[in-house]
Structure 1
Amino acid sequence: MSELRFNVADVAGVRLAVSPVNETVMSMWALASPIHYAVHLPWIDRARVTLRRPEVASRVRPLVELARPRCWLPDFLTPAARPNVEMAEQLEQIAATPPAVVVQDLLATTPRRPLGTFGQALLADPGGLLPQLVDAVRVWYDEAIAPDWPRMQALLDADVTYRAAQLAENGAGRFFEQLHPSLRWLGDRVVSDDPFERDFDLRGRGLALNPTVFSGRRVLWNLLEDSLPAGAYPVRAVGTLWEVTAPPPGDPLGRVIGPGRAVLLHRLDTAATTTDLARLTGMSAGNVSQHLAALHAAGLVNRSRQGRHVLYRNTEAAAVLLRASRGG
């Protein structure tokens, strides 16, 4: 069991953001233990093919060694994310980690299992070998995460929007208890039902919270004194991530509003961007934008801005139409 102690500044400093580097690093757990990540099997099958390519395997090996299943990650490898952070910025942050912090974070991961060959070498020469690790994360993102990032980001952004509204409407206590079943709020602290046994005072630094698609069992904490406090919690509706919802053959809704617009409505039960919808449907981004504009004008989709992205999602009126067309 872990406890995070808050003061007034910490409560005010709770912030939500999407971390592309978290998804890149934590995705290694799904590759290593697919039975525990069955929801991601469509991605795992593709990623394993990618990792078997020799030119990828050799460069990604440092990340594979450090992202070990059932072991802590070094905190510097999953830095606290700020809103709208880009992957390149997070890679620069990792590359700038002081050698002493690299060593401290590596040693903190060893209680259950000793470091492997690269981990031991990084421990001995953090300044010299850290660039290899940064390159490994960059390559894995480019090869395995970036092709699916619009889909992942749409789900993560939608969760941030939902949680931010909860925090604003209900306050910190109820927010944390709704964030995950393992969390309880005791007035000035969060108690986390986990095996980590941490007692940590945030000391006015606040807490960054990042939803993640690759952790489904508990909230994972970055709680070392030299790191910004952060937590990665399981995203809502992860089971929809790899779904491809298509209209049934002879869809009656398509005959009423047109097949292209019907296809989009069938996919907008979960929020998505124009780019994501174009990739999912095979339409051009311009065609998707035209359809979305018409659906929005008709009151069938809502749109909301998250940083540089605009998310679209069905309204209740669209849900009624879809239920009718599906025979429900």
Structure 2
Amino acid sequence: MGEIRFGVDDLAQLRFAVSPLWESVAALRASADPGGHALHLPWIKTALTVGRERTDLLPHLPELEALAPPPRCPLAEIEEELATGLPGHREALLDWWAAGVRPYWPRIRAVLEADLAYRTRQLSEDGIQEVFAHLHPSLRWAEDRLTGPGLPARGLALGGGGITLAPSAFTARCVLLPGRKGVPPCLVYPVRAVGTLWERRAEPGDGLARLLGRSRAGLLGRTSTPTTTTGLAHQTGLSVGAVSQHLAVLRDAGLVTSHRYRREVYYRASELGRALLGPARPS
């Protein structure tokens, strides 16, 4: 059991980020332990077929996890992150990212960014205490410190630089990435709603298509995980304007909900919308 100690300045320097580099490392760990990551089996079956870059990296997993740099900005690209760390494994990690993670990144990132939207709203409405109280069952917030397994046993005083919080789809526990070269430490935590990551619903039936129209029914079927109008346009071939109009109708009917994160709005099927689509099944 360890702890992180916060000062007044640290509470004002809480940041959120998505780290494609950490997700690549954590995904590598999941691919090496299918039994411990049964939730990701639909993806692991594909990842196990990835070539030499994966097997070359597996012996270095402890080093990769220990030396992965904390993210410098909220939505960095993996190339930017690799420029600051893990120089001996840069090419192999890029190859693994390209083959095993990037094809699924829009789907993964949507779940991660939906979590960030939830946490930032929670922070603004309820304060940092509520954020940490619901980040992970193993963590405890009391007065000016966060305690939990995996945190520094001797305690870590942030010293005014704050901390970054990064959700992870492939991590089942909290992991602290130490700060370095002016970049604050990062606490990686398991993302919310990870169970929806690999869900895929059957194509809407003729009845739902007749009720809503085939385009709207198809869009509804693609919102089981949070996604944007641009993402839906790419998936369906519809224009962004047409997607926006259809989503407005679905939202007014209570079939999808929306939330804003930074400059984008994410849409997700509501409980009523999911009920109309029927049960989800693994991809």
TM bracket (short chain) = 0.7 to 0.9
Distance 1:148 1:292 in 2: 24
Where does 1:1-328 land on structure 2 (aligned, <5 Å)?
A: 1-50=1-50, 53-54=51-52, 56-57=53-54, 61=56, 63-68=57-62, 73-75=65-67, 77-94=68-85, 130=87, 132-194=88-150, 197-216=153-172, 218-223=173-178, 228-247=184-203, 249-250=205-206, 252-274=207-229, 276-277=231-232, 283-284=236-237, 286=238, 290-297=242-249, 299=252, 300-307=255-262, 309-314=264-269, 319-320=271-272, 322-323=274-275, 326=278
Distance 2:241 2:136 in 1: 36
Q: Percent identity?
A: 37
Contact 1:14 1:209 (C-alpha < 8 Å) held by counterparts: yes
Distance 1:223 1:41 in 2: 30
Distance 1:242 1:305 in 2: 23
5+ residue gaps, structure 1, are: 96-129
| 3-state secondary structure, aligned to 1:94 | coil
Distance 2:45 2:242 in 1: 34
In structure 2, the CA distance between the partners of 1:153 and 1:42, relative to structure 1 (3 Å rule), is same
CA radius of gyration, larger in: 1
In structure 2, the CA distance between the partners of 1:163 and 1:191, relative to structure 1 (3 Å rule), is same
Contact 2:23 2:169 (C-alpha < 8 Å) held by counterparts: yes
Contact 1:26 1:67 (C-alpha < 8 Å) held by counterparts: no
Q: CA shift at 1:153, angstroms? A: 0.4
Distance 1:325 1:209 in 2: 34
Distance 2:59 2:231 in 1: 32
* Counterpart residue type for residue 20 of structure 1: P
* Counterpart residue type for residue 204 of structure 1: G
Contact 2:2 2:150 (C-alpha < 8 Å) held by counterparts: yes
Contact 1:272 1:312 (C-alpha < 8 Å) held by counterparts: yes
Contact 1:210 1:233 (C-alpha < 8 Å) held by counterparts: yes
Contact 1:84 1:308 (C-alpha < 8 Å) held by counterparts: no
| 3-state secondary structure, aligned to 1:190 | strand
| 3-state secondary structure, aligned to 1:270 | coil
Distance 1:307 1:183 in 2: 27
In structure 2, the CA distance between the partners of 1:48 and 1:211, relative to structure 1 (3 Å rule), is same
* Counterpart residue type for residue 264 of structure 1: L
Distance 2:241 2:196 in 1: 23
Distance 1:195 1:202 in 2: 13
Distance 1:31 1:65 in 2: 13
TM superposition score normalised by structure 2: 0.86
* Counterpart residue type for residue 67 of structure 1: L
* Counterpart residue type for residue 148 of structure 2: S
| 3-state secondary structure, aligned to 1:232 | strand
| 3-state secondary structure, aligned to 1:74 | helix
Contact 1:30 1:37 (C-alpha < 8 Å) held by counterparts: yes
| 3-state secondary structure, aligned to 1:158 | helix
Contact 2:225 2:268 (C-alpha < 8 Å) held by counterparts: yes
| 3-state secondary structure, aligned to 2:189 | strand
| 3-state secondary structure, aligned to 1:233 | strand
Distance 2:25 2:276 in 1: 42
In structure 2, the CA distance between the partners of 1:323 and 1:143, relative to structure 1 (3 Å rule), is closer
- Aligned length, in residue pairs: 275
Distance 2:212 2:26 in 1: 41
Distance 1:287 1:220 in 2: 41
Q: CA shift at 1:64, angstroms? A: 2.4
Distance 2:198 2:71 in 1: 26
Distance 1:310 1:248 in 2: 24
Distance 1:148 1:275 in 2: 16
* Counterpart residue type for residue 254 of structure 1: A
| 3-state secondary structure, aligned to 2:247 | helix
TM superposition score normalised by structure 1: 0.75
